[in-house]
Amino acid sequence: MGNISILDTNWVGRPHSIAAALLEADGHRAIIDPGPESTLATLRERLHARGLSVAQLDAILLTHIHLDHAGASGSLVRENPRIAVYVYNLGAPHVIDPSRLVASAQRLWPDTLHQLFGDTLPVPKENLRILEGGETLTLGTRKLEVAYTPGHASHHVSYFDAAEGIAFVGDTTGIRIDNGPYILPATPPPDINLEIWDSSFATILARQPSRLFLTHFGYADKPAEHIQAFRRRLHHWAELTAEILRSASTEADAKKTFVTRAQEEMQEHLGPEEADHHAFTAGLDLSFLGLARYLRKRADATA
C-alpha cells in the first residue's frame, strides 16, 4: 500500500491552508499538488522531516494548474529534472509557458501576487505526462485512477486510490478545513460552470470513496454527505450572486454586498477567526467574480 502524508505548506505563514499530499509506495514518491513556489522552502522542510529530499521525488500529479496548487512544479523540476509532471491536456500549454496564467493572476492579485505565489517557472515539455481522464497510473505498488472533474476549472482532474478508498479532489468539493463544520465554495473566474460541476460530483460519488482529500485542507469524511452539503451551498451562492446583481447599481457594489453576506454566513457557522481563515484561503471577492461571470455566460447562451 505505502504511506500517504499531508504536507502542510504553511501558506503565507498560515497553517492548514494548503495541503500537498505525499504518496509513497515501494520506493516511488509522488506529490499531488505541490502548492505555490512561495511555499517551496516549507515543502522541502516537510520532506526533510520524513528523511526525504526533492531529489527523491519521482512524480508531481496536478489536479489543476491554479498557482496555489501547481505553481511550484517548474521549480521542483529545475531542482530534480527527472520528475514526471502529470497534468490534464487543457492545462499542459500553461504549465509549459505560464506567462498567461501569471498575467491572469496578476489581474486578480495586483499587489500581492509575488508574496502569495512566488515565481512560477515553466515545466519542460519532456517532463509532462498528458492526461485525458480514464487513465490508471502505476506509482510503485500504488494504482491511481484519473477522472476528469471540471466545474471549478476546465483543466481539473481527480485521482482515486481505490485500495485506500481516498479521492484526491483538489477544489472540486470545496474548502473544508480539517473536516470542519463549513464547506466554502471556491469559484474564481474564468471557468466556473455549475451544470458541468454537478456531473463531476456524480463522477466522484460513482467511485464510492470513503474519504476525500482536499487541498484546502486535509481529509473530509462521509463524501456523499459532504458533496450534498457543498452542492447546496454552491447553488445557494450562485442564487445569492444573481439576486445581488439584480438590485445593485454597479458590479463593484454587488461584489461588496456579496462579500459582506458571505462573511456573515461563514461567521455564523465558524466564528470570526476561522471565517477569516477560510475566506483568506479562497478569496470571497474572487468567488463573486467567478459566479457573476458564469451567470452572464449562462444568460448570453439562453438569449
Cell numbers 461584489 correspond to 255
pLDDT tier for residue 301 given thresholds of 50, 70 and 90: confident
In this structure, are strands 59-61 and 84-88 parallel, antiparallel, or unpaired? parallel
- The answer to whether residues 216 and 236 belong to one domain is no
- The answer to whether residues 238 and 116 belong to one domain is no
> pTM (2 decimals)?
0.97
- The answer to whether residues 98 and 135 belong to one domain is yes
pLDDT tier for residue 303 given thresholds of 50, 70 and 90: confident
Q: Rounded to an integer, what distance in angstroms lies between the CA atom of residue 280 and that of residue 80? A: 32
Q: Rounded to an integer, what distance in angstroms lies between the CA atom of residue 23 and that of residue 245? A: 44
Grid coordinates representing 187 are 469559484
- The answer to whether residues 128 and 82 belong to one domain is yes
Q: Rounded to an integer, what distance in angstroms lies between the CA atom of residue 242 and that of residue 264? A: 18
Tell me which of 180, 203, 223 is where a domain ends: 223
Q: Are the C-beta atoms of 242 and 293 separated by less than 8 Å?
A: no
Q: Are the C-beta atoms of 205 and 226 separated by less than 8 Å?
A: no
CB burial readout 143-177, b (16+ within 10 A) else e? ebbbbbbbbbbbbbbbbbbeebebbbbbbbbbbbb
pLDDT one-digit tens code per residue, 160-207? 999 999 999 999 999 999 999 999 999 999 999 999 999 999 999 999
Q: Rounded to an integer, what distance in angstroms lies between the CA atom of residue 105 and that of residue 82? A: 28
Q: Are the C-beta atoms of 204 and 158 separated by less than 8 Å?
A: yes
Element (H, E) at 88: strand 84-88
- Strand-pairing partners, residue 136, are 145
What's the farthest any 2 CA atoms get from each other in the chain? 60
pLDDT one-digit tens code per residue, 223-270? 999 999 999 999 999 999 999 999 999 999 999 999 999 999 999 999
Tell me which of 193, 223, 253 is where a domain ends: 223
What's the pLDDT score for residue 222? 98
- The answer to whether residues 156 and 60 belong to one domain is yes
Which residue range forms the structural domain that includes residue 189?
Answer: 3-223
- The answer to whether residues 281 and 151 belong to one domain is no
- The answer to whether residues 115 and 30 belong to one domain is yes
Q: Rounded to an integer, what distance in angstroms lies between the CA atom of residue 292 and that of residue 251? A: 9
pLDDT one-digit tens code per residue, 121-157? 999 999 999 999 999 999 999 999 999 999 999 999 9
pLDDT tier for residue 1 given thresholds of 50, 70 and 90: low
Query: Amino acid identity of 260?
Result: T
- Strand-pairing partners, residue 24, are 3, 29
Tell me which of 223, 245, 271 is where a domain ends: 223
C-alpha distances (whole Å) from 267 to each of 16, 75, 229 are 18, 37, 17
**Is residue 2's pLDDT more than 80?**
no
pLDDT one-digit tens code per residue, 273-282? 999 999 999 8
- The answer to whether residues 237 and 177 belong to one domain is no
Give the single-character DSSP code of 39: G
Q: Are the C-beta atoms of 192 and 149 separated by less than 8 Å?
A: no
Residue 90 vs residue 299, higher pLDDT = 90
